[in-house]
Amino acid sequence: MKYLAEYRDGTMARGIAAQIRRTATRRWVLMEVCGGQTHTIVKQGLDELLGDSVEMIHGPGCPVCVTPLEQIDKALALAARPDVIFTSFGDMLRVPGSECDLLQIRARGGTVRIVYSPLDALALAARNPEREVVFFAVGFETTAPANAMAVWRARELGIRNFSVLVSHVTVPPAMVALLSDPANRVQGFLAAGHVCTVMGWKEYEPIAAGFKVPIVVTGFEPLDILEGIHLAVRQLEEGRHEVENQYARAVTREGTVPARTLVERVFQLVDRKWRGIGEIPASGLALREEFAEFDAERRFRLGAITVEEPVECRAGAVLRGQLKPHQCPAFGTRCTPEHPLGAPMVSSEGACAAYYNYGRFRTAQPAEAP
Amino acid sequence: MTRTAEFVNGLTCPAPAPPTERIQLGHGSGGKLSAALLKDRFLPHLTNPVLRQLGDAAVVPVFTGEIAISTDTFVVNPVEFPGGNIGSLAVHGTLNDVAMMGAVPRFLSAGFVLEEGLEFAVLDRVIGAMAAAALAAGVPLVTGDTKVVERGKADGLYINTTGIGTLDGPCRPAPHRAANGDAVLVSGPIGAHGMAVMAAREGLGFEAEIESDSATLYPLVARLAGRFGGDVHVLRDPTRGGVASALNEIAAASQCGIVLEEDALPIQGSVAAACEMLGLDPLYVAGEGVMLVILPARHAEAAVADMRSHPLGACAACIGRVVADHPGMVVMRTGIGGTRVVDMLPGDQLPRIC
């Protein structure tokens, strides 16, 4: 496949991995922020190529995993209403709320549809004027522009039966929170290429300088990730801490200005709770006041709710990189993709699900040191 | 027409059925409309000496030895998709299940659940495709049934088919017969049917249209059975759940391990690209015209060559091997040289957020 096969070449991958092993004089601890990168690493077995040179910690960049339980419960409440067509990206459907998930709501008679773009949800609203269409607007800066566009278009077209349940989060505040944690072990980051395609990397420069950590904007294919790791290891070996751009074919320092501008016009920064991590100041996006009529929480008067996570789920420690998924006592026994205790076991980008689906054979080998 | 005549015509009892282009509930009544449905819509396509008897059951000759029976119900949305429709699929799917037992498909039955409002034009195309598929496979449809349900109670139409085949030779493939040292072959590119239906259903608007691979696999089975007989250990068409699920079932049944080579898997470019876009793994996507073949490694090369000499098997390839390690588990060596487990999925694959 053009533009993909080139980045999956086995010979080149082994060549870069050998370079990384030669460059590293000690074992470095890096975090890939994005769940898409975690997915590639575990699915392709990239970590096997690295030997002892690098330990990869899987970061909190899975939008499904960090969407707080409260928001999932609100989604379930909306989806159960007979007047609502609830629309969502596919992988939110199996995420467990306090009592059930969206698939079960659908089985009980709720109208829940998978869409591939928020604009499809808007079109659904235009075709079904007698129903309320709600879109579950989750994700990082990557999905924010399309969601902002859907709200913008809804206002422009005067589509009043469309609203969004927003649970957007942003990456840089989460990195700051991780680095400020006294238990932090991360020495360098692979920043999420798609997030930076939208946002650029200017906002990462003060983080790299302030915490003295290398940050490499990295793509999602095996060669991207290996090259990103190599650049980060080289910085660490040379005592540098800069923002470097591995994903030059998609990312510029400024990002995609029209997309960023639209996000800024529709959304504003708010404090946001992250599932498993807790509240991080100014880490979320919410609709600005002038778009309040498209806010599903206001339209349907969903009050504030507080719910408790299952005590046994160690998702917080996994998402902070303090615990490898298979080190969790419930992993693979009381917590499986069929019966997940927490979101990281559900999403295809979740670290626990990636370990379970792709890694069980390896982790069944003599256990690696925790 | 006089007023009286108008009045009388208006009260004619029973009311004459107006000409229609769609299925009505009356088509399921067992009365004249039912008979007309059979005569006008089904028999012109499907006629053969056994079916023409229109008895309560088909009467067919008995074979000596064993028979293989398989039944399957088809509920595909949309009913028409690039490369086929629910009619051709209902023939291929069931005949393939019979063929996967090493049997020669002989007879086919079909039951139809028709939704009130289904257009005759669609029904004609479905029955036409069904007849063409059965004819191409050389298997007569000898008995059938239709029922009509109210609008909204079905998705256009559902079809159940049952296939009967005869086991004539020594070829008796079964999942538990996979053995250490066997090779795993696939007869063609994987995942085409599932992606074709998904693209048609969701209106994904890919530039390159993906066609379903729906086809009858018996010609390939006949070649392999004729040449390798009892050495054909397993045949399996990876439909729902795709290659990954089929191989997991085989690994579990045989208590062997299976090692796949990612680089060897044949996948059409358009299918691979669609899967990439949606975040789906083609290993879990259904095919309806490919099969997995497991036989001793010494036969692998000849079996691949045999399949390649038929258009259906033009892309046949050896994709892995059966091992004694990790019994019950399927492992893939990735293109970049890592390994990963290929497990069963808990449910349907769901498209990713980003």
Q: Do A140 and B202 touch (CB under 8 A)?
A: no
Provide the pLDDT for residue A370. 33
Asked if the C-beta of B329 comes within 8 angstroms of chain A's C-beta atoms, the answer is: yes
Cα separation of B160 and B110, whole Å?
6
Show residues of chain A in contact with B337, CB under 8 Å. Answer: 10, 13-14, 45, 48-49
The CA distances from residue A176 to A63, A276, A282, A319, in Å, are 18, 16, 11, 14
Q: Do B341 and A360 touch (CB under 8 A)?
A: yes
> Which long-range contacts (C-beta less than 8 Å, at least 24 apart) are formed by B222-226?
B222/B104, B223/B306, B223/B307, B223/B309, B223/B310, B224/B171, B224/B293, B224/B295, B224/B303, B224/B306, B224/B307, B225/B102, B225/B169, B225/B171, B226/B169
Asked if the C-beta of B269 comes within 8 angstroms of chain A's C-beta atoms, the answer is: yes
Q: Do B340 and A359 touch (CB under 8 A)?
A: yes
Q: Which of residues 279-298 of A touch B (CB under 8 A)?
A: none
Residues B186-238 pLDDT 10s: 999 999 999 999 999 887 777 778 999 999 999 999 999 999 999 999 999 99
CB pairs under 8 A between A and B: 108
Show residues of chain B in contact with A336, CB under 8 Å. Answer: 346
Cα separation of A277 and A178, whole Å?
10
Show residues of chain B in contact with A332, CB under 8 Å. Answer: none
Task: Look up residue A301 and give its two tokens.
Answer: 């008067």
| A44, A90, A114 ranked by CB distance to B334: nearest | A44
Provide the pLDDT for residue B91. 98
Q: Do B335 and A94 touch (CB under 8 A)?
A: no
Asked if the C-beta of A94 comes within 8 angstroms of chain B's C-beta atoms, the answer is: yes
Provide the pLDDT for residue B11. 46
User: How close is the nearest chain A Cα to the Cα of B280, in Å?
Assistant: 10
Asked if the C-beta of B226 comes within 8 angstroms of chain A's C-beta atoms, the answer is: no
Q: Based on DSSP, count helices (H) and strands (E) in chain A, helices before strands.
A: 16, 11
Helix axes A144-157, A257-266, angle to 10 degrees: 60
SS3 A205: helix
Provide the pLDDT for residue A357. 84
- Residue in chain A nearest B337 by alpha carbon: A10
Provide the pLDDT for residue A98. 87
Q: Which residues of chain B fall short of a pLDDT of 50?
A: 1-14
Asked if the C-beta of B323 comes within 8 angstroms of chain A's C-beta atoms, the answer is: no
pTM for the complete prediction? 0.86
Task: Look up residue A158 and give its two tokens.
Answer: 């005067």
Show residues of chain B in contact with A14, CB under 8 Å. Answer: 336-337
| Cis peptide upstream of residue B14 (ω within 30 degrees of 0) | yes
SS3 A288: coil
Provide the pLDDT for residue A91. 82
User: How close is the nearest chain A Cα to the Cα of B352, in Å?
Assistant: 5
Determine phi and psi for A169, rounding to 5 degrees. -130, 160
Show residues of chain B in contact with A360, CB under 8 Å. Answer: 329, 341, 343
Q: Based on DSSP, count helices (H) and strands (E) in chain B, helices before strands.
A: 11, 13
Q: Which of residues 120-179 of A touch B (CB under 8 A)?
A: 138-140, 142-143
Strand order in the sheet with B104-115: B66-74, B157-167, B104-115, B141-149
SS3 A90: helix
Cα separation of B304 and B319, whole Å?
11
The CA distances from residue B26 to B11, B40, B152, in Å, are 20, 15, 16
Q: Do B351 and A90 touch (CB under 8 A)?
A: yes
Task: Look up residue A28 and give its two tokens.
Answer: 């470095």
| B273, B341, B353 ranked by CB distance to A138: nearest | B353
Show residues of chain A in contact with B334, CB under 8 Å. Answer: 43-45
Determine phi and psi for B30, rounding to 5 degrees. 85, 0
User: How close is the nearest chain A Cα to the Cα of B269, in Å?
Assistant: 6
- Residue in chain A nearest B335 by alpha carbon: A10
Asked if the C-beta of B353 comes within 8 angstroms of chain A's C-beta atoms, the answer is: yes
Cα separation of B183 and B189, whole Å?
17
Contacts of A237 (CB under 8 A, 6+ apart): A23, A24, A25
Question: How does DSSP classify residue B15?
Answer: P
- Residue in chain B nearest A350 by alpha carbon: B352
Question: How does DSSP classify residue A100?
Answer: -
8 A C-beta contact, residue A52 and residue A25: no
Show residues of chain B in contact with A46, CB under 8 Å. Answer: 336, 338
Strand residue runs (E) in A51-109: 54-61, 84-88
Cα separation of A314 and A341, whole Å?
9
Contacts of A367 (CB under 8 A, 6+ apart): none
Contacts of B104 (CB under 8 A, 6+ apart): B165, B166, B167, B168, B218, B222
Q: Which residues of chain A fall short of a pLDDT of 50?
A: 364-370
Q: Do A44 and B343 touch (CB under 8 A)?
A: no
Strand residue runs (E) in B116-216: 141-149, 157-167, 182-186
Asked if the C-beta of B138 comes within 8 angstroms of chain A's C-beta atoms, the answer is: no
Q: Which of residues 203-242 of A touch B (CB under 8 A)?
A: 222
User: How close is the nearest chain B Cα to the Cα of A222, in Å?
Assistant: 8
B229: left (phi over 0), alpha (psi -120 to 50) or beta: left
Cα separation of A208 and B149, whole Å?
66
- Residue in chain A nearest B268 by alpha carbon: A1
Residues B227-277 pLDDT 10s: 999 999 999 999 999 999 999 999 999 999 999 999 999 999 999 999 988
Residue A267's DSSP bridge partners are: A287
SS3 A177: helix
| A45, A46, A143 ranked by CB distance to B353: nearest | A143
- Residue whose token pair is 């499907």: B46
Provide the pLDDT for residue A307. 81
Show residues of chain A in contact with B271, CB under 8 Å. Answer: none
8 A C-beta contact, residue A259 and residue A206: no
| Cis peptide upstream of residue B78 (ω within 30 degrees of 0) | yes
Task: Look up residue B244 and give its two tokens.
Answer: 């990954």
Cα separation of B105 and B102, whole Å?
9
One-character DSSP codes across B259-317:
EEEGGG----HHHHHHHHHHT--GGGS--SS--EEEEEGGGHHHHHHHHHTSGGGTT-E
Q: Which of B209, B232, B354 is nearest to B293 (CA)?
A: B232
